[in-house]
Amino acid sequence: ELFKYGFLGPAVDVPAPDVGTGEREMAWMKDQYQTLFGVNDINAPGCVTGKPITSGGIVGRTEATGRGVYYATRAFVNHPKVM
């Protein structure tokens, strides 16, 4: 339904895991997307993020958000006008 109305796709909106969802649900969404719309579409695995590595995910995805927060905080506190 989300794809049918233009709300889901590799170049539109890419869902990610949140509270109550994880790698399993993201892999399921990717599999359903590919089954329905893009078995041979090279971009189909990009319809969701947070997949397990075995389903086309990437190493480091689990840590990526926390790492981004760390670098942003470090840049903020090291800015001369802040401290």
3 Cβ neighbours under 8 A, 6+ residues apart: 9, 33, 36, 37, 47
Q: What is the pLDDT of residues 61-83, one digit of tens each?
A: 878 888 899 999 999 999 988 76
pTM over 0.75: no
Q: Give backbone dihedrals phi and psi of 17, rounded to 5 degrees, phi first.
A: -60, 150
Report the C-alpha gap between 4 and 69 in whole angstroms.
34
Q: What is the pLDDT of residues 44-57, one digit of tens each?
A: 888 888 899 998 88
Q: What is the pLDDT of residues 8-50, one digit of tens each?
A: 777 787 888 888 888 999 999 889 888 887 677 788 888 888 8
